[in-house]
Structures are given as structure tokens and as C-alpha cells.
A and B are shown apart, each in its own frame.
Chain A
Amino acid sequence: MELNSIPRLAPGCRLHPTESVLLIPEGTLNLTGPTREILRMLDGKRNVTDVVTDLLQQFEGADAVEVQRDVLGLLDRLQQRGVVRT
């Protein structure tokens, strides 16, 4: 996952309309913290930098370097799990 990657949810993966849960084939992933918010931003247009910028606006005072590292880490993990693609 790079800053200019455009991540999106893999086919057959979607956010539960109300709960902090990602519905995936044969199962669910419970989403913690701002994960749901981050996944909601993956519209196939925004790249990782755009997502980070949006988050920094929402969470005023958050450390940009930290947010960037966390977002990249999270998306990497979800990509390894097969639920996010670039």
C-alpha cells in the first residue's frame, strides 16, 4: 500500500449499514475505532493521501505522521486479509 494507491473494498465486502461491522463472504469483521469511517471513504477515487487528509480534518489536532502510518498499516492488514484491494 502506497500513499498514491487507490484502495477499495474487495468484491463481496461491504459495510453493515448501521453497525461497525464489515460483511465479508461467509463472515464478518468487527471494526474498531475509526476503521469504519476509513473504509467508508474508499470510493475507488480517493487515494491513501486523500483519506489521511480527510481524517486529519475530522480529528483535529491528530498527528499527521501517526495518522498516515496507522492508515497505511490498517489498509495493509486488510489487504492481506483479502478484503481491500488496490
Chain B
Amino acid sequence: MTSSNAISPLSTPLSLIAEVTHRCPLHCLYCSNPLEMQRAETELSTEDWRRVFHQAAQMGVLHLHLTGGEPLARRDLPELIRAGRDAGLYVNMITSGVGMTEERLATLVESGLEHLQLSFQDLEETSANHIAGTRAHAIKLALVPVLKRFHLAFTINLVVHRMNLDRLAEFIALAEDLHPDRLEIAHVQYYGWALKNRSLLMPTQEQVERSIPIVEAAKERLKGKIHVEAVFPDYFGSFPKACVGGWGRQMMLIDPAGQALPCHSAAIIPGMTFDNVRDHDLAWIWQSSSAFQRFRGDDWMSPTCLSCPRKERDFGGCRCQAFLMTGDPNAIDPVCSLSPHHDLLKDLRISDPEVLPIWRD
């Protein structure tokens, strides 16, 4: 099969996602200390990250996303931010807000933090049986006025799913009161989830359709005040979305121990081996690591994708989704109407809004 148009095999990465730790203060109480220590011990050092950021900038990466776990669990976070800026990167940070104080924030901003993203699972007082969530929620709300005192961009990220999507208008209104610079509406990602969880959390087609005009209206109304970005799930479409800019095309993720991944859930795909920034230069990993090479270009594609003009736009869709749903990581993303497994998606398009309890399975 000849390709209609070959996909350029190598591009320049734009973003580096640095998972600086898997530790999270929210779970501290339940985590045994030795485990914590062991985990912390495998983490890259400040010096390792400094080298990685420098190598990333040399390759043309523009954005650094500090994430975790909770990045605040790293005591050297100000140094990491400074290292990112010194390398010439734009520094974003994603936080639960737990562990943040005005003093710490001042140090982070002074070190060069440019954008902070706070995720909300819900914008309502959560029920008493979600105590941990409620605590985090209160902390986040208290943090917002503090954030506003600093010169940095502030994003609220609303995580939506089947159980809260019907209250989206209300959510947006509440987020609006917190005056973020940006508002992201993100659907739960299901790649790591078993099907039973998916049926619990995945919104119905009707829900998604109802939510679209709400988002459009908010975008229009908030123009010039809050920049609204929304990502809708592709389950209901006939064609998949591009895997974050294409596999091994735009981003690299480095986990706390230094493994370089082309996708946050790439480890679920069998046969993947990840190279480590302790052993290799970032540019070498980008160019030659088998994990990055695996679904790059179009050699791996099924004949259907290979001869399809859309492959330059969607790169054959999501590899993790293809694997999870068909057992074959090279399969056409089942979201695609040309996939022989497309019917699997139809089964997921539950129109009955009744929520199945997770234990009923």
C-alpha cells in the first residue's frame, strides 16, 4: 500500500511535561512513610531536571509544564522553576493548591512561574462522603484571592463527566466569580479506565450535545474577560481527534524517575520500553527512543489509515484508545467510522441517563 502523502517523520517538540513527583500531600495520611521515601528516592534531582530543561530548550521546546503528583511536594520547586526560565522555557504549573501558602507562591512567582492551573472536580460543596475532596475544594477556593494578588496567569480547569455535565452552566457561572484569566473545560480522560468506570463517568451523547451551546454562549459572553477553552470527547464523532499533536510529534513527558514517554498513558501499551534521561540526552530520546518511534510517521498504520487523506490531521487517532478497545495498538482508532470496531463505540453511546453504580458489575 502506498501512502497518499507521507507524514514527516520528525518534528520539533513544543512542550515538555515534567512530572516532578508522584507524591501528593492529599494522600500523605494514608501512605506509609517508607513507601513515600522510596518513591522520593527514585526522583530525578534538581540537577537532572536542570539538564533536561536545558536540553529541551536547545531542541526548540517552548513550554514547560510542571505537574505531578503535586509539584509542591518538591522542596526544590522554586529552583526547578528558575531552571526552566534560565533555560528559556515558559513555565506552567498544574497544582491541587494543597500546600500552597502566600509565601510559597511569592517565591514561585519570583522564581519565574508564569502560569498556574488549578483543577476543580466540582464547584459545589461536595457531599459529606467525599471528605477529602471537600477539604481540597475549600483550600482551592481560599487560594484564589491569594493568586489574584500576583502577576501570573491563572487558569481554572473544570473536569466534567456524566455526573456533573448537566450542571455546566452553573459551574461556569461559579468559575466566573473567581475571575480566572482562562477557563478550561475538560472531559475526564478514559484511557486508564476500565469499561465499567467509563459507563459510569462517560456522558451521554445528549448531555454532550446539550453542553455545546452552553460552552459557545460562555465563550461569547466572556470574550475579553476570560478565555474559555473546551475539549469535547471524540466518542460521538465519526472521526478521531489527533493524538495530542500526533505521537512523538509535539510533546514529551518525563516521569519522576526520568523515563521519557510520548503519551501520558503510553505504558498501558504492551511492549513499550522507555528510555531514561539519566542515560540519554533528550534529543537522542526524541529522535531514536523506540517508544517515540513506535507510532511515528505512518509505517505502522493499517492500510485504511495509510491511504486516507485524514491521516495528516488525526495521525490515525489515539493509540491507547485503539489498544484498550480492540486489543491491538496498531488498530484504527475505533472512533473512526472506517474502523471495523466502530460498533464498540455505539455500545458506549448510552442514551439512558441512568447512572450505574460502580459496584453493580
Contacts and interface: CB of A to CB of B under 8 A. Distances in A.
A26 interface: yes
Contact of B92 (A10, A26, A81, A82): A26
Nearest to B222: A82
Given A26-B63, A27-B63, A82-B181, A14 B114 contact: yes
B92 A28 contact: no
A49 interface: no
B114 A12 contact: yes
A10 to B, nearest CB: 6
A79 interface: yes
Interface in A1-24: 10-14, 16-17, 21, 23-24
Interface residues of A, number: 18
A10 B153 contact: yes
B224 A11 contact: no
Contacts of B120: none
B153 A81 contact: no
A80 interface: yes
Nearest to A19: B62
A25 interface: yes
A82 B224 contact: yes
A82 B226 contact: yes
A79 B225 CA distance: 9
Contacts of B341: none
Contact of A25 (B14, B92, B226): B92
Contacts of A80: 223-224
Nearest to B155: A25
Interface string B218-237: 00000111110000000000
Interface residues on chain B, size class: 20 to 34
B115 interface: yes
B227 A21 contact: no
B62 A82 contact: no
Contacts of B227: 81-82
B323 interface: no
Given A11-B153, A12-B153, A79 B88 contact: no
Contacts of A28: 14, 62-63
Nearest to B89: A23
Interface of A is mostly: loop
A23 B62 contact: yes
Interface string A20-49: 010111111000000000000000000000
Contact of A11 (B63, B92, B152): B152
Contact of A12 (B14, B152, B223, B224): B152
Contact of B115 (A16, A26, A82): A26
A20 B271 CA distance: 41
Given A25-B92, A82-B226, A12 B115 contact: yes
B181 A23 contact: no
Nearest to B229: A26
A81 B225 CA distance: 9
A56 to B, nearest CB: 27
Contacts of A10: 153, 181
B315 interface: no
B151 interface: yes
Given A11-B152, A12-B152, A25 B223 contact: no
B172 to A, nearest CB: 16
A82 B115 CA distance: 14
A80 B227 CA distance: 8
Contacts of B225: 82
A23 B61 CA distance: 12
22 contacts: A10-B153, A10-B181, A11-B154, A12-B114, A13-B153, A14-B114, A21-B62, A23-B63, A23-B114, A25-B114, A25-B115, A25-B153, A25-B182, A26-B115, A26-B182, A27-B63, A28-B14, A79-B224, A81-B227, A82-B224, A82-B225, A82-B226
Interface of B: 14, 62-63, 88, 90, 92, 114-115, 117, 151-155, 181-182, 223-227
